Structure formats: structure tokens, C-alpha cells
Structure 1
Amino acid sequence: MKKLQIISLCISLFALAACSKKSDSVVVSVPQIQIGKAISNSATLPAGNYKGTMLANQTYTVGGDITINAGDTLLIQKGVKINMAKGANFIVNGDLISLGTKDAPVTITDPRRTKTTGSSTVATDSAYVGGWGGIYCSNSANLVVLKWTHLDFGGAALKALPFPQATGLKAGSQYILYFENPNGLFIMEDSWMYGSPDDATRFYGGTYNIMRNTMEKCGSTGGDGFNAKGSSVGNMAYNLIIGGATNGTKSASDGTTAGECQFAMYNNTYVNDGFRNDGVYGARSGSVEIENNSRALVYNNLIVDCNFGVRIAGGPGGAKVYLADTLYNASSVIKKTAYGYNFFYGDNAAMTGQFVPTSVAQPVVTHPQATDIPNMAAFLGASYTFGFVYDGSSLVGKNNPMFVNYPLPAANNAWITQASVDGFNFHLQAGSPAVGKGTTTAFQPITAGIKIDPNFGSSGITGPGKDIGAYQLDGTGNQH
């Protein structure tokens, strides 16, 4: 009878989730599940093939690459901590499911390293030097789900290609998350990434829902946060990205002929991004970058002390053609790149002079928007030609977004060295000029192909919020 009661409870919970008519509903609690046999933590796990379940609240030590074969599943229950050997990777040819919870997150880390607070530089902070490797998913990896999961101190260089026909990999690649299956589904929700030497992520195909995550210290002297390429399609929303080397979120249709890269990027908060790029100034962004024939919807984002605003790349220019696809296409998931209702704050004239990025290194085609804060269309005037240099010095220090706990104006060039959340609180105060200034009607998130499921899919696609940025006064959005 007890077994029947448990089954009945599970059916009831799934039925309640399935009957919800709100596309942004989030499953609060689900019963723990187990797939296959339990994996023992009684000894160091050597390199090899694995499937089954890592059990809740256990600590595992990994001594070499963990490989998941095609057709197999590795499931990680809540509260698991995985201490990875230097350079060790997850090689995913099957499915990987990590189901942490708010109260008991999963942690994958290099145990030899410790997080630091305060001033952070490449020369002194081990966060920018890869410890363990990454999660590398081949074109046979159908499903990757990361919920309430810490990925700390990853990005050690690959010694060899983990699988053949890797579109964007080579020996020496230093990514933490890599996914390339054009028919696969990648879910990352309510998770954290801390430290990386290069791009924290590389996506070359598939469908994505990336929501409510926090990124700190990603990229050493270059590298993006969420870097989507190929024919990848999906959402990047309600993420806090602080102290990234270059772009926080980026789309580019590199490495494929299967179709354009297309993302809805909305209600993200970007802080202190774009100041560790040692390349040509202006050849990369400091918050949002749309380039190489990709399409995007970029709305309701809060961009604070970042090197550049929303950069819609023109072309040709430099060694690469960065032209984004700004033409209307009725057959595309995103018919036309569009953006607005973004909020900008800068503590010096170099930043405020790039709220609307200019063609300092390559052509850009970002148009000033009347819906932005500040109103850049009015500030620049009707005669302004996109890409032209302008004087933004009068905007310095204006429109303080009023974080609950983060000092603005920032002292001592903190936008360069403050790259982690520490004890700061990036929620908005009730009187913030960003409150109620977002749009909930100008666009809609991408839903096609994103499975809603408490374990084997997204917990829910949260739609655009009325407050600009990752944190909403009603308690929705980013939960960190």
C-alpha cells in the first residue's frame, strides 16, 4: 500500500505541473528520482564509462574523465559534491541530469582552490586558470539538464579531442560547457559558474533554456560568458553576469550551415563586464554582442559599468566579417533582430560614450532606442548616424539603478577589479528607476522545442518581467 501511495503522489505532482496553463510556472518541489544503479563513493572514481545515479548529499572524488556513452544517463541527485582531478572532464555522449535544489545544490569543483572576494586580477586570482576541465557534449548527447548546480574553477585545457567531428573544439580548448547536438536540448537553470580562462560556454547547435544563473569571473584576458554559435536557438534570461572578460551573452552563426543562431536575451543584469579583453578595443563588446548573421531579441537588460552597451555588429571589418542579420525573414524563429527597454549606467565617459556602441574597431549597426534609459534616441538626436563617435560625458553617473547593496558610483575603478558577487545584493530597491520600466509585450521568449518537465526538461520558461534586470520586486526572476 505504501508503494501505491508514493506512486499516486508522484502522479499527482506531475499532473499538477502538466495542467498549469502559465508558461512561466516553475515547479517548486519534486520527489527525488534514481536512474539505474547507485554509484558508490567509497573510493576515487577512475577514468571510465559511467551511468546510473550519484546519490543525494554524498561527496565523490573523480580521478579522470567520466564518460557517458550514447544511450546511457548519469543522474546527479541534490546535495552531491564532486571533487574533480586536475584536467578531468565529463565526456557526454548520452544524457547528463544534475538536479540540485535551492537548499541542497550540486557542486562540481576543483578542491585545491578556494574562492576569493574583493579585488580580482588575472595575475593574482586562480579563478582565471583552469582547474578541472569541462562538460563536453557530443552530437549524440540528447539532453543535458543543470539545475541549482555550481560549476567552479573549470576550464583546464583539453589534452585531446574528446570525440570526433567536434565543430568548435581543438586540443587546448578551455571551455566549461560545450554542446553541439542540433537536435538536442540543453537546460541550465538557477545555477552558478565561477571562474574560467576562456569562454565559459560554447554552444554549436540545439535548443536552450538558460535562466536565472549567476556568472562570476569568466574569462581571463578574453572569453565570453554564454557564447552561442552555430544553429543554437533559445533563451538567455534573468542571469546575473559580473566581471566577465568580454561579452556576457553573445550570438554568432559560426560553424554551421544548418541555420542561424537565434536567442532571446532579456531581463539579464550585467555588471563590470568587458575590461579584461587584451584584444583591440571595440572589437568585442562588454555586455551583449550579436554578430555573424545571428538574430536576437534584446530587451529589459540592466547594463551597469560595462565597457560597451548592446553591440549589433556590422561588417565587413577587420579580419572577420561580424555582420549580424538585421533583415526580416518570415521563416526564422526570430523574424528580425530587435532590441529596446535596456537600462545603462556608467561611471566614466568611456563607458557612457559606448551606451550605443560606435565603430571604433569594426562597423556596428546599433540604433539608439527611445525606450532605453537613458533615452539615447533623444540624446543623440535625429541626425545621428549609427557608429559615429559621440560625447557621452554628461551621462556619467546618471540613472543610478539603486541596487540594494552595491555602491554606485563605484570607487577606485572597481568596475575593473570587482568581478564576484561577494556580499553585494543586486536586487533593486523599490524606488529604483528600473522598476516598472521593462516591456512584457514587445516580444515573447522562444518556446518551441523546450520541454517542460521537473527532471528531464525546463522547470518553466519565465516570460519578460516588468522590472528591468534579473531581479523582480515581486520575487520572481533570479533566485540567488
Structure 2
Amino acid sequence: MKSILKSLSLIALVISLAACHKEEVLTLSVPVIQSGSLITSENLAGGSIKGTMQTGKTYYFDKDITVNDGDTLLMQSGVTLIAVGDGTKDKAPQISVHGTFISLGTKEKPNFITVQNAATYHAEASAAKYDNVFKGSWGGIVATPAPITAAKPNPKGGDVIIKWTHIEFPGAASYGNDAAIYKDGDPRYGIYFANIEKDFILEDSWIFGTTDDGIRTVGGKISIMRNTFELCGKAGGECFNMKSGTVGDLAYNMLIGSATNALKASNSGGTTVQCNVNMYNNTMVNCGFRQTKTGRGGSINYEQGARGLIYNNLIANCRFGLRMTTDADLTNIAYNNQYYYGSTAGILAQFLASDGVAKVQTADLKSATAKDKNPLFFSYNLDQYDYAANAGPITASLMPAYITTIGNSNFGLQAISPAHNKSKTDFAPLALVRTTGNFGATITAPGNDIGAFQTDGTGNQH
């Protein structure tokens, strides 16, 4: 990182000598982070690309673009990058990252990686019309080391660092893209990251409208903090799917309307590093109802040798609660202080998935009967949909927008919520990412309140 990134921010020192007072006036410029040359053309022609997309500008790409090994592509704040495509063959571009990709949006000036018809697709989602939302207009981001060649026998790959960025409507079918990852015809993921030695940092960002998994990792040191996931997966797919080699923390994420699980950890994938992920203080609502396979689809799933800590998660009206299979690394999984809410007896019966081995813990909070112990979100009615009549699987066409998207709802906790001060806080994040400075992770420690939104102002900032 340090060898390829540099800040061209200069501190401007202006000394003004007044005739009478001879005072020194010091003016400090706002730092502007840049890597390599500025990209001036709004049309990215495809092929190899590196440098800096400039703040406030809009860029377009209609062909695959590649960040080569050793190169960096950086988005300053307030950049919009538009994929021009419709998901058909030769019109489904993706971003292939063999080097380093950085998107440095801010709360005031977020970045967008989206499509031309984004406003229309959002309006359709708000009206519960999902055909365009799930069609996959572009291929997503694929971050792996470059193929080994004689010229580059040991490609290293790079980090992916994304902050305050909207990533929308990826998931186009693969047309021979990345054969080691996708079969022809398979939907691509919003983000695919596979590099055990590198960092994947996702902070304060939004993943919206993916055809399959919002994000899948096969290896990497991760820090996934304070993000929002909506409408991930048409009929299958997780918001975040972690495989072998993935190690790190996921906390303070808001996840709503996933097809299958909100979060899944599995040691499948064939790397030499065990999947070890802490999941704490996340909020999951209405997840798992589009998955058609029996026993799948819910909130948090640990299987096939995965390990980690699972604390302080708020799981409301998800088809299944915590699922730990017999082949997970049960010896090295610790869990407690989950909050389970269900508006029907059927949901209550699967707070702990019946085909798993998770047990009720001493500090868990859960509905004793349907609609008992409502967590009391500020402005969201958990009981507005008839889950008794629609127990799942439910096709997307039958799902109103208020159970798949946030809209104008507020999932913060009212002052009288039972979730206040019910968290476990005497454990530490793994904090394994190594990137520092402007590009490093801001890791939020376990909070006092269960879920992603904290009454002290920490946690999810959306």
C-alpha cells in the first residue's frame, strides 16, 4: 500500500506581512488524496486503468476495466461511476481488480457505482417491482491476484477499500467471465474478493439490488463496519457470504430483505486459512424468505468448519434464526446476547434453526409468543405483513417493498426498547486488517445496545 499510494496533499503556508502589525497568517488546505495521474476523460474506454477519478465528476464504462497488479484505481469523494449495460452478452461490464481499488466517499459526498437507470430502478423497488432490480445490469467487482505468467510469476494483488459508497444493481450473468469463479450463466456477485494476504475494508456503504450474493469473500482480512444491505439475491444468495481464508469482523451492519441468510460463514473454498469471523451488533430484518431450498434462509449461518464470536445481533422476523451446523467448528464458536423477535408462531419455532445445533443462551432475548418483546424501532412496524399466510418461500413478486427495503423507516431503538444495555461488551474485535492512515479501517467496538444502532450515536450512521 505505502509503496503505491501517496498523498499529494500540500499544506499551503501563506505568510502575509501586514504593514502595521507584521502578523503571520497561516492557512491550511483541505487534504486531497490522489494516486497517480488524474483521470480526465469521462468515458473509461475499457482495458487497463489506473489513477484518480476526481471529486464531483461522473465517469462511464461500457466494457470491462482492469486494475493491473501493482496499480491503483482511486475514487475521490463525490464521484459517480456508471456502468453502461443491460446485463446481456457484451453489455455487462465488470471491474476486475488485480491491484488496489479505493473508493473514498464521505458522509457529505458519498460515491456511487451504479447504472444509468438507477433512479427508475429505485422507484420500481419502492413500488415492489423487482424485475429490473434483480436482472443484473453489470458484472460487479472481482478482486483477485492476476493470473500467473512468465512476466509476473508471483502476482500479489492488492487491497479493496470502500467507504461511504453506494454499489447498486450488479449481478449480470457470466458469459465466460472468470471461469474459476463462475459457470457460464451464473449470476455474478456484487463484490468478489479472494486474496488471503490483503485487506478488504467496507465502511458506511450501501449494497443494493444484487442478483445473487451481495458480497462473497474467499480469503482476506476483512473489516465490514456500519453498512446497509438491501434486496440481496433474487431467489438465492446472502448479503455477505464468507468462505475459507476469510478472517475479521462484521459489525453494525443493517441487513434487510435478503433471499437467503443475511450473514454466512463457511470454511469451504479450499484455502489454508480457517474462516474465522466475529459477527456482533448487527440488525437483520425480514431475511430468508425467497430461498426455496428446505432449511436454508435466515439470519446468521456458521457451517463447514467456520468459527467466530456471535454476540449482540438483533434478528427480527427472519425465516430462521441462528444456524450452526454439526460440521461447524463448534469448539471455537461463542455466542450469546442475541435478540429474536417474531410476529408469528412459525417464526418463533425457528429462532434457532431446527436443522442446526445452536441453543438458547442465558442472555438471549426472544419473543415468548407471537409479537412479544417488540424491539421498538423508531419508525418501522414489524407486524404489518402477514407472515402466517406467507411463511416462505415467497417469490419476490409477492413481497411488498416495506419488507425488502428501508425506505423512510428508522431502525434505531426507542428509549424504552428492551434491547437497551443488553449487550455483551467484554470481548474485542479481531482487528486484523493492516492498512492504516486515510485508507485504514475505523473499527467500532461492541456497543451497549443490541443491534446496529446505538443510543450513544455510535454504530450504524445511516
TM-score, length-normalised on structure 2? 0.85
2:24 corresponds to? none
Which amino acid is the alignment partner of residue 201 of structure 1? I
1:380 corresponds to? none
1:24 corresponds to? none
1:350 to 346, 353, 357: 346
Partners of 1:110 and 1:218 in 2: how far apart? Answer: 17
2:370 is the counterpart of 1:396: yes
Partners of 2:30 and 2:339 in 1: how far apart? Answer: 37
2:405 corresponds to? 420
Partners of 1:53 and 1:448 in 2: how far apart? Answer: 27
2:113 is the counterpart of 1:108: yes
Deviation at residue 7 of structure 1 after TM alignment: 8.9
For each residue in 1:321-374, what CA deviation from the matched residue of structure 2 results, as whole angstroms up to 9, or x when unmatched? xx11112xxxxxxxx101110101111111110112212xxxx11111111002
Partners of 1:104 and 1:252 in 2: how far apart? Answer: 36
Partners of 1:50 and 1:30 in 2: how far apart? Answer: 27
Say whether the 8 Å CA contact 2:247–2:432 is kept in structure 1: no
2:291 is the counterpart of 1:277: yes
SS of residue in 2 equivalent to 1:454: helix
Higher relative contact order (CA closer than 8 Å, sequence separation 6+): 1
Say whether the 8 Å CA contact 1:347–1:410 is kept in structure 2: no
Change (3 A) 1:453 1:7: farther
SS of residue in 1 equivalent to 2:302: strand
Partners of 1:349 and 1:7 in 2: how far apart? Answer: 68
SS of residue in 2 equivalent to 1:344: strand
2:199 corresponds to? 185
1:201 corresponds to? 215
Stretches of structure 1 lacking an aligned partner (at least 5 in a row): 9-28, 315-322, 328-335, 375-391
Deviation at residue 266 of structure 1 after TM alignment: 0.5
Partners of 1:249 and 1:450 in 2: how far apart? Answer: 23
Identity across matched positions, percent: 42
Which amino acid is the alignment partner of residue 429 of structure 2? P
SS of residue in 2 equivalent to 1:97: strand
For each residue in 1:151-181, what CA deviation from the matched residue of structure 2 results, as whole angstroms up to 9, or x when unmatched? 011111222234x7x4x43333411101111
Say whether the 8 Å CA contact 2:239–2:262 is kept in structure 1: yes
1:326 corresponds to? 330
SS of residue in 2 equivalent to 1:350: helix
SS of residue in 1 equivalent to 2:278: strand
1:94 corresponds to? 99
Change (3 A) 1:466 1:30: farther
1:142 corresponds to? 158
Aligned-residue RMSD, C-alpha:
2.0
2:169 to 128, 153, 156: 153
2:310 is the counterpart of 1:298: yes
Say whether the 8 Å CA contact 1:38–1:53 is kept in structure 2: yes
SS of residue in 1 equivalent to 2:346: helix
1:120 to 128, 138, 150: 128
Say whether the 8 Å CA contact 1:438–1:466 is kept in structure 2: yes
Partners of 2:30 and 2:371 in 1: how far apart? Answer: 45
Which amino acid is the alignment partner of residue 348 of structure 1? T
SS of residue in 1 equivalent to 2:172: coil
Change (3 A) 1:347 1:64: same
SS of residue in 2 equivalent to 1:366: coil
Which amino acid is the alignment partner of residue 183 of structure 2? K
1:444 corresponds to? 428
* Residues paired across the two proteins, number: 409
2:397 is the counterpart of 1:434: no
Partners of 2:11 and 2:423 in 1: how far apart? Answer: 45
1:211 corresponds to? 225
Partners of 1:397 and 1:270 in 2: how far apart? Answer: 16
SS of residue in 1 equivalent to 2:412: strand
Partners of 1:7 and 1:196 in 2: how far apart? Answer: 48
Which amino acid is the alignment partner of residue 134 of structure 1? G
Say whether the 8 Å CA contact 2:10–2:31 is kept in structure 1: no
Partners of 1:7 and 1:160 in 2: how far apart? Answer: 54
SS of residue in 2 equivalent to 1:405: coil
2:362 to 357, 367, 370: 370
SS of residue in 1 equivalent to 2:207: strand
SS of residue in 1 equivalent to 2:201: strand
Say whether the 8 Å CA contact 2:312–2:336 is kept in structure 1: yes
Change (3 A) 1:257 1:153: closer
SS of residue in 1 equivalent to 2:245: coil
Partners of 1:341 and 1:30 in 2: how far apart? Answer: 43
SS of residue in 1 equivalent to 2:167: strand
Say whether the 8 Å CA contact 2:251–2:452 is kept in structure 1: yes
Say whether the 8 Å CA contact 1:199–1:224 is kept in structure 2: yes
Stretches of structure 2 lacking an aligned partner (at least 5 in a row): 1-8, 15-28, 86-91, 146-155, 392-398
Deviation at residue 274 of structure 1 after TM alignment: 0.3
Which amino acid is the alignment partner of residue 433 of structure 1? P
2:34 is the counterpart of 1:34: yes
1:311 to 314, 323, 326: 323
2:182 is the counterpart of 1:169: yes
Change (3 A) 1:474 1:326: same
Change (3 A) 1:357 1:53: same
1:254 to 256, 265, 268: 268
